[in-house]
Amino acid sequence: METLIITASGVTVQAELYENVTARQIRSILPIEAVVSRWGDEIYFSIPLQVAGAADARTEMKVGELAYWPVGNAFCIFWGPTPASSDETPVAASAVNPFGMIKDDLRGLGSVEDGTVIRITRG
Phi then psi for 11, rounded to 5 degrees?
Answer: -100, 130
Ordered structural domains, the chain, with CATH: 3-122 (2.40.100.20)
pTM for this entry: 0.97
Model confidence pLDDT, tens digit, residues 48-86: 999 999 999 999 999 999 999 999 999 999 999 999 999
Q: Which is nearest to 69 in space by CA: 41, 110, 97?
A: 97
The model's confidence at residue 31, banded by pLDDT at 50, 70 and 90, is: very high
Is pLDDT above 90 for 37?
A: yes
Region 7-31: what's the mean pLDDT? 96
pLDDT confidence of residue 1? 79
* pLDDT over 90 percentage in the chain: 98
pLDDT confidence of residue 112? 96
CB 123 within 8 A of CB 2: yes
Q: What is the largest CA-CA distance in the chain?
A: 35
Beta bridge partners of 13: 6
Count how many Cα atoms sit within 13 Å of the Cα of residue 60 in the half-sphere of its side chain: 4
